[in-house]
């Protein structure tokens, strides 16, 4: 595997490796990037602080991280001697093989909780599993057929389903307010690039805008507008830094009527304009 995490996608069907050093991870601390691939990270040593779709996580030994396609990722801090397994599948491979179908019923559970803490004994079994696949990868110099790659992916997803079902069975029931907040966050993740009006989300949830705003503020400490804006700005930053798209195209992808409006919106939230941010 190349000594670099894929910024956008993986150029081959899949990769697996452990040669991700602190220096390589530090390359991703300056700005967020949008990941198109499906990536699994198993931390065996060290600590990583990062944001996954705006939420900060402290990733420690025996944590398993699922980075779904479309995730906006940023690393903030890396501590200790890092040792992690990384397995990734390209967006093309996942799409051609309907790779996410096995986890369709827990997709949003993974999106809300992408980091799972594994108990020590199961963690060592997971380490052995990854080590075996890595040996096969190295033995055949990465030339492994698609059926076997699909088998590896299916094995990981089957294990994920078990882990998340166990997690769900031990979680306490959410209050009505927490459920509204959860549903709102899911809707924002699905629609922020096209819809920035709070009224749209209130209508989708079948409640008044005032009730939605009050509830989200109580649960998260943030306003609905702040949450929506944060996702829009995070996406804009990722596109500005991780793609060669023109500012016009980025504005269009986020449903801004013109570049001027996008520029003012971006500067209001970031402090500098899109071009200055891109060149910084």
pLDDT at site 198: 96
Q: What are phi and psi of 28, to 5 degrees?
A: -105, 20
User: Using a CB cutoff of 8 Å and minimum separation of 24, what contacts does 263-266 make?
Assistant: 265/232, 266/233, 266/236
Do 91 and 136 share a domain, yes or no? yes
Count of structural domains, the chain: 2
Task: Let me know if 44 is exposed, middle or buried by CB neighbors in 10 A (0-12, 13-18, 19+).
Answer: middle
Of 170, 204, 238, the last residue of a domain is 170
Q: How confident is the model at residue 168 (pLDDT cuts 50, 70, 90)?
A: low
SS3 state of residue 64:
strand
Residue 9 lies in a domain: no
Of 104, 137, 170, the last residue of a domain is 170
Residue % of the chain over a pLDDT of 70: 94
Do 54 and 189 share a domain, yes or no? no
pLDDT at site 2: 42
pLDDT digit string (tens) for 47-84? 999 999 878 899 999 999 999 988 888 888 888 888 89
The CATH number that applies at residue 192 is 1.10.10.60
Q: How confident is the model at residue 27 (pLDDT cuts 50, 70, 90)?
A: low
Distance in angstroms (rounded) separating the CA atoms of residues 32 and 52: 9
Q: How confident is the model at residue 3 (pLDDT cuts 50, 70, 90)?
A: very low
Q: How much is the average pLDDT of 165-184?
A: 81
Of 152, 170, 188, the last residue of a domain is 170
| pTM score, whole prediction | 0.76
Residue 2 lies in a domain: no
The CATH number that applies at residue 156 is 2.60.120.10
Residue 247 lies in a domain: yes
Task: Report which of residues 66 and 8 the model is more confident about.
Answer: 66
In this predicted structure, the answer to whether residue 5 has a pLDDT above a threshold of 60 is: no
Look up the domain containing 147 and give its range: 14-170
Within 13 Å of residue 144, how many CA atoms lie on the same side as its CB? 21
* Nearest alpha carbon to residue 192 among 30, 54, 20, 50: 54
């Amino acid at each position: 595997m190349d000594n670099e995490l894929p910024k956008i996608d993986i150029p081959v069907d899949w990769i697996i490796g452990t040669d991700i050093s602190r220096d390589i991870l530090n390359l991703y601390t300056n700005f967020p990037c949008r990941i198109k691939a499906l990536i699994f990270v198993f931390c065996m040593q060290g600590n990583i602080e990062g944001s996954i779709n705006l939420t900060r996580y402290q990733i420690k030994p025996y944590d398993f991280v699922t980075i779904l396609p479309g995730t906006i990722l940023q690393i903030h801090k890396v501590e200790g001697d890092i040792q992690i397994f990384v397995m990734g599948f390209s967006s093309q491979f996942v799409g051609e093989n309907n790779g996410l179908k096995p986890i369709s019923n827990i997709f949003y559970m993974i999106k809300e909780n992408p980091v799972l803490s594994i108990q020590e004994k199961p963690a060592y079994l997971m380490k052995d599993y990854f080590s075996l696949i890595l040996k096969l990868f190295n033995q055949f110099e990465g030339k492994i057929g698609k059926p076997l790659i699909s088998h590896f992916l299916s094995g990981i997803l089957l294990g994920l389903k078990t882990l998340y079902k166990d997690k769900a069975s031990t979680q306490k029931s959410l209050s009505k307010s927490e459920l509204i907040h959860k549903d709102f966050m899911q809707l924002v993740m699905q629609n922020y690039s096209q819809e920035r009006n709070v009224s749209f989300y209130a209508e989708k949830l079948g409640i008044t805008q005032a009730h939605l705003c009050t509830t989200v503020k109580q649960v998260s400490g943030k306003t609905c507008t702040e949450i929506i804006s944060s996702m829009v700005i995070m996406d804009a930053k990722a596109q500005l830094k991780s793609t060669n798209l023109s500012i016009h195209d980025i504005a269009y992808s986020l449903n801004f009527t013109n570049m001027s409006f996008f520029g003012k919106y971006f500067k209001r939230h970031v402090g500098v304009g899109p071009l200055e941010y891109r060149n910084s």
